[in-house]
Structure 1
Amino acid sequence: MCGIVGYIGKRNTKKILLDGLKELEYRGYDSAGIAVLQNGEFSNFKAIGKLVNLEEKTKDFITNGFAIGIGHTRWATHGKPTELNAHPHLGESSYVVHNGIIENYAALKKELLACGVKFLSQTDTEVIVHQFEKNLKNSKNAFEAFSKTIKELEGAYAILLTTKSQPDTIFFAKHGSPMLVGINDAGESFFASSDTPLIGQAKEVNYFEDGDFGFVNPSEVAIYDRDSNERKPNFKKLKEDKLSAQKDGFRFFMEKEIYEQSHVVADTLMGRLSDSEIIFDELDKSLFDGINEIKLCACGTSYHSALSASYLFERYSKIRTSVEVASEFRYRNPIMSKDTLFVVISQSGETADTLETLKMAKEAKLKTLVICNVDNSSMVRLADSCILTRAGIEKGVASTKAFATQVTIFWMLSLYVAKLRNSMKKEEIIKHISLLREVPGSVKVSDEMHERLKRLSKRYLHGHGFFFIGRDIFYPLALEGALKLKEISYLHAEGYPSGEMKHGPIALADPELFTIALLPEHMLYEKSRSNVEELSARDSTICAISSLEFDKADDFIKIKNSSHYMLEFFEMMVVLQLLALEISVRLGNDVDMPRNLAKSVTVE
């Protein structure tokens, strides 16, 4: 989750930029950089890793008097985390920082290369500054060139650009990625991708709307809408609580992270979908040569995403897939054959049990792959290959967006392997790619849904336990729903395959047993409905989640009508997360820091 800062004023520009980037560290990043324009000359510094590395590089750099500056923390999407790929990116006489994705960057880059432009990085961002400088040669001024450039970009972005041709001005554009500008009584201006860097610096802020672009200099804040109509800034007093600012107004980090899932899933998909195939530039296709089995190994929530993956790999890739609990696998003297791809899954990349199983696989000479959220973590360094989920920092101990992005990766990977193995027709893969593009919308939280779950939660604060039930891939989702509830509410909850209820657990059925039933329209609906009716007949309290009305339910949570079971999966995932959250809130628990738990389990 990249971060942006900018400053126009007479104070120590370097310090303001670095302090601002520190306030954005919670979002996650793998490299950082700043560019300062003073007295007609640029100073640019970049470093991979943590901000302390950038601070070391800039320790002898001092700014005196008026200057403008931009800074960025980068989460790698196009291109690996290297200094060349870090922002800001340089043209002949301009610098740019950018959050988001330029979807038509390949076409723009091809035209620029034909014009003799030399590119230094692998990023989509670099095309912005070169396109600007190309337009500057045929424009009356820098703003006209910037306006032309923005109209030529497709995708999502928050952009800051500085140029020697207008050394007192920062140009900005916002579409789909957050951006705001702040001012104070000293005549200073500040940019950032969230409130936090501006607290203590700016007095008032203007939140840009999608389509806004313009410029800021010491005397003017000029804003234009997507139709190039000028509009007045709408400055509001800036809140002063940094923790609240990091939460973006949400009550808890977990709540914020549930709402963020729409954006982070879009980041996960970014650059990995073409019209007809899945693109994993980070993978060598030879990774799958000679592979006849995939073995997935993980703990906790990551184990549930691995279980979900097993359904997708066997259904679409037609490859034998097994799933292991890491803490069990490492001690049972397992058989490990070299035609197995060993895949470990971890949000942090440091989970002790999972890391040890990866070491076992390496010693057994198996090919290895890690699905992880943290670049340069122990697992990423050790495995042969890595796919980053791009979920950003997850502060809530109960994982939400990490699970969403892991399952998204596995859906894509199952299609990627399916193409390699010719187990799906091209038309089917294209259809799934179209469905994947719908996932960010499926995980978007509606006010109506959240309010419904807030009201409903008060009915589920007692009783002797919860059963979360589902069939097929909805069984792992039931397990994950039960885990979320027990983690933060401390109520007993179990996940079960719907068809297994009559093999023992149904003995517990009574009005004080709450059954959360996952009833997807497009996956074994009638069989699942029959299983729920068996529980209803024994007086269990039923809460059904489905797009289809269910008359046997005591409570019914309606999801949108979707064309595919995976879209239902993702929407139900959000419902389960919010239900657990609201029950925990009503019980007065610390949602973000539940008792006895840690975010990254680095011991056995």
Structure 2
Amino acid sequence: MCGIFGFVGKEVSLNLLLEGLFRLEYRGYDSCGWAAVKTNIVFLKKEQGKIYQLKEKLKDNLEERYPLSILHTRWATHGRPNKINAHPHFDCKKEIILVHNGIIENYLSLKEELIKEKHNFLSDTDTEVIAHLLERFYQENLEEAVFKTAKKLKGTFALAIISKKEPQKLIGVRKGSPLIAGVSKKGYFLASDIPALLPFTRRVVYLKDEEVVILTKEKLEIFNFKKEKQKICIEKVKIKKESAEKKDYPHYMLKEIFEQPQVLEKTFSLYLKEGKVNFPQLNFKENYLKKLKKIYIAACGTAYHAGLVGKYFLEKHAQLTVEIDVSSEFRYRKLNLNKNDLILAISQSGETADTLAAVREAKNKRAKVLSICNCLGSSLIKESNGFIYTPCGPEIGVASTKAYTAQILSLYLLGIYLGLLKKVLKEDQARIILKELKKIPFYQKETLKEVDKIKKIAKKFSRLGCFLFLGRGISYPSSLEGALKLKEISYIPAEGYPAGEMKHGPIALIDEYRAVVCVVLKDSLYEKMIANLQEIKARKGKILGILNKEDKEAKFLCDEVIFITSLKNQDLSPLLVAPVLQLFAYFVAKNLGCEIDQPRNLAKSVTVE
């Protein structure tokens, strides 16, 4: 992995093509490269490091126009991050050139075969095997070689392939890794994600799994791996180009933190009509949902933490049994699923490999799938029986912020909807919850006004080398998410724990050099959290408290405090705690000089297992 961009058509300047690649930077990468074919000449340049460094090396070519190009950003999976292992890769004759996202699981055995056939390998990557397989099979034309090669590969792959022998053709291949074709008057594009296409077109074709797209100046054709021609469905992307830009913010992450109130308001406008919750794309019969007794949630990372919040809320207000697993582990459980079971899959991108694998495993057992997702054309939505769309717009920062709170709000609304449908939540109770829930965007705006105070606190705490995040009940997922945000972008070791587990291990870490971030709400667990604060204080731990306003008792025990609005229904508090923890992590990372939008070793969409 991580980013693919390609073009075939009327000649386009290299400078413009690099704009498409720049828009994939948010996915994270350690090297990049470009290849083109023009007047029977192959142009190729690779660089370890950032796209601007590649651009500098290509400064004499930037205004040159090319009819056929492929570009790539790479996160190392096989082979170190260096110029040799960077994409594009090519065959022995340097006539077939390609870029690849994914992992080829059987590349070693294929490489041994090809070495015996006298193929010469230059890199340590799995990708280079594909180029040599294409060389082996190339006889009539490039697409025939592609079909034969695809049959030999095990694993996941999205490919963009060009050849010196056929300088008017760009071929894309998808198996388990996203790939999108863009349609414009200038020609056709390939990209691994929508933002790369926005400067050029909003007309797109989402490739399905095991499909090959053949692009020339004149036409677009799609075939499945059996060489059967497929129907072309061109969709119009509603995302505006500006929504994927930073505007006046120094980082995408900060912009996206401040967008959260608007995202929640958009979510309400989609699913709350005349005081009633309604999901147009749910696609389940009411009778099925009324009889539903159990939900299995599968998600990864931040989406998993949103799912944990949802578990608490669904169990309480819809009286459902909810099991939740990290998607990669869900697949290894021997669950006795059937057609009556519901899997709730949560993913910002809709392309998370482990979540998709969990969904496919569940569908093989005839379970139904409901997804919560931010990308309408994604694999997850297409493979689900029903879905809830989170209207966040593009989330560019690798550390998820606005998608997290939109997922939580969607889960709250789902809990209210199911509770009413199953008649375990009374109408007046639902009205009270919704009334307070609709005030959350305003309360978030009030919280975000504390940005200068949070910045000062973050500067003070950034000197500490280890963090513990604690919460109880529905605040426990907030502690996990706070720890994840901090470690993702500041690289400081941080752990999230239920506060009740503190004496079962984490307390051994606490001393005057350690920070403990505690979410303390005025709820039924308040006294227990006060006891935790006392224990931390006795061991000289530095305490940052996220407290309800006017909580003097907890404030007295903390070194620093950040206040949030006191809610009548504290089950909704994760939506107020989240922006505080996000801003805290952001300013700690900024104070340490970290690369916030593209933290090391992380990708925005984890499209490999």
Which TM-score tier does this pair reach, normalised by the shorter chain? 0.5 to 0.7
Partner of 2:153: none
Equivalent residue letter for 1:578: L
Match of 1:279 in 2: 278
Aligned 8 A contact 2:299 2:346 in 1: yes
The runs of 4+ residues in structure 1 deviating greater than 4 Å are 54-58, 71-75, 445-448
The superposition leaves residues 471-526 of structure 1 with CA deviations (integer Å, 9 ceiling, x where unpaired) of: 11110111000000000000010111111111221122111121100011235222
Alignment of 1:494-509 (within 5 A): 494-509=495-510
How far the C-alpha of 1:357 sits from its partner, in A, is 0.5
Q: Deviation of residue 530 (structure 1)?
A: 1.6
1:385-424 matches, cutoff 5 A: 385-424=386-425
CA contact (8 A) 1:259 1:445 kept: no
SS, match of residue 374 in structure 1: coil
2:397, 2:598 within 8 Å by CA — same for their partners in 1? yes
Displacement after TM superposition at 1:561 (Å): 3.1
Structure 2 vs 1, CA of residues 523 and 400 (structure 1 numbering), >3 Å: closer, same or farther? farther
CA distance in structure 2 between the aligned counterparts of 1:597 and 1:490, rounded to whole angstroms: 11
Question: Deviations for 1:346-376, whole angstroms, at most 9, x for unmatched residues?
Answer: 0011101110010011110011111111112
State yes or no: 1:267 paired with 2:266.
Answer: yes
Greater RCO (CA < 8 Å, at least 6 residues apart): 2
- Shift in Å, 1:603: 0.6
Work out the CA distance in 2 between the residues paired with 1:442 and 1:409: 18
Query: Do the aligned residues in 1 keep the contact of 2:278 with 2:417 (CA within 8 Å)?
Result: yes
Gaps of 5+ in 2: 1-16, 25-178, 189-199, 205-237
Aligned-pair CA distance for 1:72: 11
Matches within 5 A, 1:426-437: 426-437=427-438
After superposition, give the CA deviation of every residue in 1:119-165 in whole Å (9 maximum; x if it has no partner): xxxxxx9xxxxxxxxxxxxxxxxxxxxxxxxxxxxxxxxxxxxxxxx
- Structure 1 residues 20-64: Cα deviation after superposition (integer angstroms, max 9, x where no partner): xx99x99xxxxxxxxxxxxxxxxxxxxxx9894464899xxxxxx
SS at match of 1:558: strand
Amino acid in the other structure paired with 1:460: F
SS state of the match for residue 277, structure 2?
coil
Indicate yes or no: 2:258 matched with 1:253: no
For the aligned residue pairs, the C-alpha RMSD in angstroms reads 3.2
1:551 partnered with 2:556: yes
Deviations 1:55-87 (A, max 9, x none): 4899xxxxxxxxxxxx99799xxxxxxxxxxxx
C-alpha distance 497-447 of structure 1, shift in aligned 2 (>3 A): closer
Q: Which residues in structure 2 correspond to 1:445-484 (within 5 Å)?
A: 448-484=449-485
Note the C-alpha offset of 1:275: 4.1
Whether 1:587 aligns to 2:586 is no
Following the alignment from structure 1 to structure 2, what is the Cα–Cα distance between the partners of residues 440 and 267?
Answer: 10
- Percent sequence identity is 37
The CA deviation at 1:285 is 4.5
Within 5 Å, give how 1:27-46 maps onto structure 2.
none
The CA distance in 1 between the partners of 2:187 and 2:509, in whole Å, is: 64
**Residue 291 (structure 1) shift:** 2.2
Aligned equivalents of 2:420, 2:577: Cα separation in 1 = 28
* Aligned counterparts, 1:166-181, within 5 A: none
Matched-pair contact (CA < 8 Å) for 2:486–2:492: yes
Distance 1:338 1:525 in 2: 42
Give CA-to-partner distance per residue, 1:393-446, whole Å, 9 cap, x none.
011000001101000000000001001111111000111111221121232265
Matched position secondary structure for 1:270:
helix
Aligned twin of 2:368 = 367
CA change 1:57–1:587 in 2 (3 A) is: closer
User: Are positions 1:527 and 2:532 aligned together?
Assistant: no
Name which of structure 1's ranges 387-396 and 555-564 shifts more when overlaid on structure 2. Answer: 555-564
Deviation at 1:289, TM superposition (A): 4.9
Q: Do the aligned residues in 2 keep the contact of 1:348 with 1:373 (CA within 8 Å)?
A: yes
Residue aligning to 1:603: 608
User: Displacement of 1:448 after TM fit?
Assistant: 4.2
Contact 1:288–1:341 (8 Å) recurs in 2 = no
How far apart, in 1, do the equivalents of 2:578 and 2:567 lie? 14
The question of whether the paired residues in 2 share the 8 Å contact of 1:309 and 1:411 is answered with yes
SS in 1 for 2:473: coil
Q: Tell me if structure 2 keeps the 8 A contact 1:267–1:390.
A: yes
SS of 1:444's equivalent?
A: helix
Aligned amino acid, residue 281 of structure 1: P
The whole-number CA distance in structure 2 between the counterparts of 1:561 and 1:290 is: 36
Per the normalisation by structure 2, the TM-score is 0.60
- How far did 1:453 drift? 0.9
Deviates more, 1:327-336 or 1:256-265: 327-336
Count, aligned residues: 390
- 1:353 corresponds to which residue? 354
Cα deviations across residues 200-241 of structure 1 (Å, max 9, x unaligned)? xxxxxxxxxxxxxxxxxxxxxxxxxxxxxxxxxxxxxxxxxx
CA contact (8 A) 2:408 2:575 kept: no
Distance 1:328 1:271, change over 3 A: closer
Give the conservation status (yes or no) of the 8 Å contact 1:257–1:401: yes
1:581 shift after superposition: 0.1
User: Aligned in 2, Cα 1:54/1:560: closer, same or farther, shift over 3 Å?
Assistant: same
Amino acid paired to 1:366: A
Q: Contact 1:292/1:339 (CA < 8 Å) preserved in 2?
A: no
Counterpart CA distance in 2 for 1:499 and 1:446 is: 27
TM-score of the pair, normalised by structure 1: 0.60
Q: Does 1:578 find its partner at 2:577?
A: no
Alignment CA distance shift 1:523-1:595 (3 Å): farther
- Matched position secondary structure for 2:372: strand
Q: What amino acid maps onto 2:435 in structure 1?
A: S
The residue correspondences of 1:111-190 to structure 2 (distance < 5 A) are none
